[in-house]
DNA sequence: CGATGTCTTGAAGCAGTTCAACCAGGGTGG
DNA sequence: CCACCCTGGTTGAACTGCTTCAAGACATCG
């Protein structure tokens, strides 16, 4: 780490960050190369398997993380076991409630994920010393708030059919490789996860997926690989736009 | 405004703010007396009738406001008229999406309200010049996010009975005068509003209220005045805690 | 005192749940 | 290599909680 390699194009950026997909987005986009170096010294890359917990509901938050790859689900669970996913996060989102208090939900890997974790103390140091850093976190919170409110409309007022279409639309816009009319992607969620996100049972989710398949709105392979034939049609069914 | 009256107890606080219930909470709590004076110079008090809009869905945000009194509902509406309340705000909450872009929902007075409105330019000035100000806004956003996610669980996984109890619990904790076991308050929402908040029809809301009344969990006068006899029982029915 | 808006109550219908059986893929071990 | 199971998904049939539609009660206000 002392002998920093340099090249013409990325002269000051630390090795550690050079190949990172999240470098320009999320909180890291706020950092100068020197700050990035300092940042990278305090963080550690972690790989987490599906189902692995980043933090549990009711636990104090002691660590934060930047998602580099994969999907993280935020879930709430009631004492009797009923479960609700209250947020999905994709690269380069930031995980963890700043100004701690204990977490009101658990954060769990939905797919294989790769994160850049940093301890609470480091986060606080960055917030205090880097002017843009707090601002970036604020913006992320506002985005999550907008997403949460969109989803409240989905949960409260949409039919099962619209809900499933809305979910597919959401996933597609976040992880599909291109923005053409025909989209192709891997579902990062199980049917159970989808049910828990939409406030439905797995059976209802399955039935609605089957219907969309029969109507040729989507094509499904191996239960997880989805092709959307007509993105506009999907948005229409989801009740998005006017 | 030039001849500032002073008294022994509130020497530097502007007249304008002296009787304000929100002075110590919300964003104003971050301000020194001098800043408060500057702040008060840029703001104007407004009274809004129930149904009055602070800003509409899809409009650019050009004004912000601090709630001094009353309740504001944030609502989303679909092209076909289906409606969902995505947030309730009480004094001393702050209204308006910082870093504008257009608003994704409308903010509307649910009761008679009194607000302290300030233009976008003034907000930006405060964010840039007062170090705590942005931090307060950030905290407010995080609180709203926690609230939104709590509500997602309510919308997605609770029964009609639990939903109604959850709403009563929410209102009670926000506007009830004291924290004793027996609570007494005015409902700031119509049955339609309650339905739009809970993702239910007004008929279902009414039926569940009747049931809670018959079970002596609550007492209702004039459809709007509620007495909660046993707060713990209400929380229990709402599925809150363990 | 009728008129209007808000809330309640009842009865019928239906979207989504529940319960149960079945199916496909992917180990594992005899 | 097949028998076995185990997990995740689908499909069917019966049920039910909420909605829908319709009528009535209550309060407020010209």
pLDDT digits over B169-201, tens only?
A: 999 999 876 666 688 999 999 999 999 999 999
Q: Looking at the partner chain, which of A82, A146, A156 has a beta carbon nearest the beta carbon of B157? A: A82
Residue A104: pLDDT band (50, 70, 90) is very high
Q: Looking at the partner chain, which of B151, B157, B158 has a beta carbon nearest the beta carbon of A152? A: B151
Token readout for A167 is: 């979910």
What residues in B contact A158, CB-CB < 8 Å?
82
Q: CA–CA distance from B32 to each of A39, A216, B39, B66, B130 (Å)?
A: 34, 62, 10, 17, 10
Residue A226: pLDDT band (50, 70, 90) is very high
Domains of chain B: 2-143 (2.60.120.10), 156-238 (1.10.10.10)
- The b/e string for B132-161 (b: 16+ C-beta within 10 A; e otherwise) is ebbbbbbbbbbebbbbbbbbbbbbbbbebb
- The b/e string for A177-211 (b: 16+ C-beta within 10 A; e otherwise) is eeeeeebebebbbebebbbbbbbbeeebbbebbee
User: Are the Cβ atoms of B199 and A155 closer than 8 angstroms?
Assistant: yes
CA torsion sign, A81 to A82 to A86 to A90? positive
| Protein residue ranges contacting nucleic strand D, Cβ under 7 Å | A 190-192, 202-203, 205-207, 209-210, 220, 223-224; B 159-161, 199-201, 203-204, 207, 222
Say what the pLDDT of residue B180 is: 67
Round the average pLDDT of chain B to a whole number and report it: 89
pLDDT exceeds cutoff 90 at A167 = yes
pLDDT exceeds cutoff 60 at B7 = no
Mutate to test the interface with B, among A76, A154, A156 (most CBs of B within 10 A): A156
Q: Note whether A224 and A187 are within 8 A (CB).
A: yes
Can you tell me the distance from the alpha carbon of B61 to that of A46, in angstroms, rounded to the nearest whole number?
40
Give the least confident one: A190-194, B55-59, B114-118. Answer: B55-59
Reported pTM: 0.93
- The b/e string for A146-173 (b: 16+ C-beta within 10 A; e otherwise) is bbbbbbbbbbbbbebbbbbbbbbbbbbe
Query: Is the Cβ atom of B67 within 7 Å of strand C at any atom?
Result: no
Q: Note whether A140 and B140 are within 8 A (CB).
A: no
Q: At what angle do helices A191-198 and A160-175 cross, to 10 degrees?
A: 110
Say what the pLDDT of residue A177 is: 67
Say what the pLDDT of residue B22 is: 78
Query: Is the Cβ atom of B220 within 7 Å of strand C at any atom?
Result: yes
Query: Is the Cβ atom of A211 within 7 Å of strand C at any atom?
Result: no
User: Are the Cβ atoms of A134 and B135 closer than 8 angstroms?
Assistant: yes
pLDDT exceeds cutoff 90 at A199 = yes
| A5-44 residues touching B, CB cutoff 8 A | none
Summarize pLDDT for B13-26 with one digit per residue, the tens.
777 787 777 787 77
Nearest CA in chain A to B146: A104
Nearest CA in chain B to A199: B156
| Distance from residue B203's CA to nucleotide D28's C1', rounded to whole Å | 22
Chain A interface includes B143 (CB < 8 A): no
Percent of chain B with pLDDT over 90: 68
| Distance from residue B223's CA to nucleotide D26's C1', rounded to whole Å | 10
Round the average pLDDT of chain A to a whole number and report it: 89
User: Are the Cβ atoms of A142 and B74 closer than 8 angstroms?
Assistant: no
Q: Note whether B117 and B43 are within 8 A (CB).
A: yes
DSSP 8-state secondary structure symbol assigned to residue B61 = P
Percent of chain B with pLDDT over 70: 93
Strand D contact nucleotides, protein CB < 7 Å: 8-13, 17-22, 27-28
What residues in B contact A201, CB-CB < 8 Å?
none
Q: Looking at the partner chain, which of A80, A86, A134 has a beta carbon nearest the beta carbon of B153? A: A86
Which residues contact residue A204 at a Cβ distance below 8 angstroms, ignoring those fewer than 6 apart?
A160, A195
Say what the pLDDT of residue B242 is: 56
């Amino acid at each position: 780490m002392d002998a920093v390699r340099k090249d013409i194009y990325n002269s000051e950026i630390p090795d550690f960050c050079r190949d990172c997909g999240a470098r320009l987005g999320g909180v890291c986009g706020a950092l100068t190369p020197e700050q990035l170096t300092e940042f990278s010294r305090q963080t550690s890359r972690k790989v987490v398997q599906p189902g692995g917990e980043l933090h549990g509901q009711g636990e104090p938050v002691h660590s934060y993380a930047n998602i580099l790859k994969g999907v993280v689900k935020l879930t709430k669970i009631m004492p009797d076991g009923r479960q609700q996913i209250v947020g999905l996060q994709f690269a380069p989102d930031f995980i963890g409630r700043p100004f701690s208090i204990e977490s009101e939900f658990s954060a769990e890997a939905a797919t294989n994920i790769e994160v850049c974790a940093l301890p609470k103390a480091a986060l606080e140091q960055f917030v205090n010393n880097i002017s843009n850093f707090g601002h970036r976190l604020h913006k992320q919170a506002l985005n999550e708030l907008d997403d949460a409110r969109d989803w409240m409309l989905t949960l409260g007022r949409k039919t099962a059919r619209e809900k499933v279409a809305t979910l597919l639309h959401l996933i597609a816009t976040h992880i599909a490789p291109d923005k053409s009319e025909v989209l192709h992607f891997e579902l990062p969620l199980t049917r159970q996860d989808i049910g828990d996100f939409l406030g439905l049972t797995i059976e209802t989710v399955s039935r609605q997926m089957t219907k969309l398949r029969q109507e040729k709105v989507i094509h499904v392979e191996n239960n997880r690989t989805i092709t959307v034939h007509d993105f506009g049609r999907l948005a229409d069914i989801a009740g998005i736009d006017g």
